[in-house]
């Protein structure tokens, strides 16, 4: 067909689900969407948003980004035999003091967020390259641009995504393939429910020093407030995705709230990094700031 074939990872909830339904609902039916899910038994939510209109614009496929065979078989089920727009969106979070994190759990986060994205790209790149056409979009995080305490592993995985995408973008301009990262701050999704978080009272925290524990408690409160006050809806994210997808000259980086957040700017204006570390500390642990300056 003449439409753009889109394949999106992580569509059982959140940003992936909204984007899949949003694109498949295009009144002109410009997009044929393959909404992929880690397991098909999680398709209930997605099915609730699907109507008769989507009969020919949306297909659901199983695709676990940590499983190479599953990526290949999803790719081979795309009827059009090509993907014009690839959206790497699947991701998981992890929160808690670094010294109590289980190595299996840390590896799982890297496995989904980093290796999952790498493997997905490996599967679709050869065809895009040979057709000299394509747009790769990735759900990024401001946690991939600046560090956040108690999010060391998550931020490491999302920083890695930045390096991966920026490196690829340099090469892929020679193949007429665009790369865009949609940088999100907090978004109202299942992310906070799905993320693995060390709960206060968890025996893993028994051996932790009391100073870190009290800072962690304060961080969790801060986090709750931020999500309550500043979280965007998935529809806001979908709008930015649509901008990027429809643009004839898509940017490499999009910020979902419109402008570059001031704390991200600090990284380039104050390259020694100290100003950022001070400012983030002051934001999350305000009362301690004066004490630290003495």
Q: Which residues sit opposite 136 in a β-bridge?
A: 86, 179
Q: How far apart are CA 294 and CA 291, in angstroms?
A: 6
Q: With respect to ligand NAD, which residue has the nearer C-beta, 64 or 84?
A: 64
Given the residues 154, 216, 241, 276, select the one marked as catalytic: 154
Q: How far apart are CB 144 and ligand NAD at their closest, in Å?
A: 8
Q: How far apart are CB 36 and ligand NAD at their closest, in Å?
A: 7
Q: How far apart are CB 17 and ligand NAD at their closest, in Å?
A: 7
Q: With respect to ligand NAD, which residue has the nearer C-beta, 49 or 212?
A: 49
Contacts of 259 (CB under 8 A, 6+ apart): none
Q: How far apart are CB 289 and ligand NAD at their closest, in Å?
A: 26
Q: With respect to ligand NAD, which residue has the nearer C-beta, 102 or 288?
A: 102
Contacts of 25 (CB under 8 A, 6+ apart): 53, 54, 57
Binding site for ligand NAD (CB under 6 A): 9-16, 38, 64-66, 89-92, 112, 116, 139, 141, 184, 186-187, 189-191, 194
Angle between helices 116-131 and 152-172 (to 10 degrees): 10
Q: How far apart are CB 139 and ligand NAD at their closest, in Å?
A: 4
154 is catalytic: yes
Q: Hey, what are 17's tokens?
A: 């689900």
Q: With respect to ligand NAD, which residue has the nearer C-beta, 37 or 128?
A: 37
Q: How far apart are CA 278 and CA 227, in angstroms?
A: 22
| Count of CA atoms in the C-beta half-sphere (13 A) of 97 | 21
Q: How far apart are CA 188 and CA 205, in angstroms?
A: 28
Q: How far apart are CA 128 and CA 67, in angstroms?
A: 21
Active-site positions read 154
């Amino acid at each position: 067909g003449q439409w753009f074939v889109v394949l999106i990872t992580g569509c059982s909830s959140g940003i992936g689900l909204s984007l899949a339904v949003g694109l498949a609902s295009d009144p002109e039916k410009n997009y044929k969407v393959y909404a992929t899910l880690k397991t098909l038994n999680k398709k209930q939510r997605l099915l609730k948003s699907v109507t008769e209109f989507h009969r020919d614009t949306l297909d659901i496929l199983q695709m676990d980004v940590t499983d190479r065979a599953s990526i290949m078989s999803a790719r081979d089920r795309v009827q059009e035999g090509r993907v014009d727009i690839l959206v790497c969106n699947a991701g998981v979070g992890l929160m808690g003091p670094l010294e109590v994190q289980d190595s299996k759990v840390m590896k799982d986060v890297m496995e989904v967020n980093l290796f999952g994205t790498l493997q997905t790209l490996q599967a679709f790149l050869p065809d895009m390259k040979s057709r000299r056409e394509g747009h790769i979009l990735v759900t990024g995080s401001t946690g991939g641009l600046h560090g956040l305490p108690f999010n060391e592993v998550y931020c490491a995985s999302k920083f890695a995504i930045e390096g991966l995408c920026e490196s690829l973008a340099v090469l892929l301009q020679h193949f007429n393939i665009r790369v865009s990262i949609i940088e999100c701050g907090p978004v109202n999704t299942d992310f906070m429910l799905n993320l693995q978080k060390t709960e206060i009272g968890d025996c893993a925290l028994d051996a932790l020093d009391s100073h870190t524990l009290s800072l962690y408690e304060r961080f969790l409160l801060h986090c709750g407030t931020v999500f309550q006050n500043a979280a965007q809806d998935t529809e806001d994210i979908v709008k930015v995705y649509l901008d990027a997808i429809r643009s004839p000259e898509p940017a490499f980086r999009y910020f979902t709230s419109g402008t570059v957040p001031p704390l991200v700017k600090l990284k380039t204006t104050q390259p020694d990094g100290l100003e950022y570390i001070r400012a983030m500390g002051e934001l999350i642990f305000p009362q301690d700031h004066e004490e630290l300056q003495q």
